[in-house]
Amino acid sequence: MMTLTSTAFTHGAMIPKDYTCDGKDISPPLSWSEPPEKTQSFALIMDDPDAPMGTWVHWVIYNIPATARGLSEGVPTDADLPDGSRQGRNSWRRIGYGGPCPPSGTHRYFFKLYALDTVLTLASGATKDELLKAMEGHILAQAELMGRYARH
């Protein structure tokens, strides 16, 4: 079973301020275990199901190379990354990572990693829904990491 972890926080724990709108607003370091044998690429979606207007999408990144076993802290917010990864649009309509910034209360943030049996032909700037549609029938395995955040 593929697992997703971070050196910045454990599953269910609070996400450190650096990775939020109250800090540096950079993506946290993520790493994952060995994926299924036929994995051709990875995709990752980070969203907040507790947002008042419905699920808020914080990060969409796909075509992460099959050889990758993680994402370093502070992934640049470029549409196309040097390793071939492409980033999509978040709910702020911006490319790349946007950190937790809940209007009130403690929210849950889900990092969902997908191992895919293909490299997607999706252009950079895709939305979460476009990515989910493109991944249909190609998901070999899935892993999830959940962190929480509240503003003070």
**pLDDT tens digits for range 99-114:** 999 999 999 999 999 9
Q: Give the pLDDT of residue 116.
A: 98
Total domain count for the chain?
1
Please, what's the b/e burial string for 121-149 (b: 16 or more CB within 10 A of its CB; e: otherwise)?
ebebebebebbeebbeebebbebebbbbb
Contact 125, 145 (CB under 8 A): no
Coil, strand or helix at 118: coil
Q: How far is CA 149 from CA 9, 37, 65, 105, in A?
A: 11, 35, 30, 8
Q: Which residue(s) pair with 150 in the sheet?
A: 106
- For residue 152, name the pLDDT band (cuts at 50, 70, 90): confident
* Average pLDDT, integer, range 64-85: 98
pLDDT digits (tens, 9 = 90+) for 37-65: 999 999 999 999 999 999 999 999 999 99
Could you tell me the residue range of the domain that residue 122 belongs to? 4-150
* Average pLDDT, integer, range 141-145: 98
Contact 64, 43 (CB under 8 A): yes
Q: Domain with 52 in it: what CATH number?
A: 3.90.280.10
Q: How far is CA 118 from CA 32, 47, 115, in A?
A: 18, 23, 9
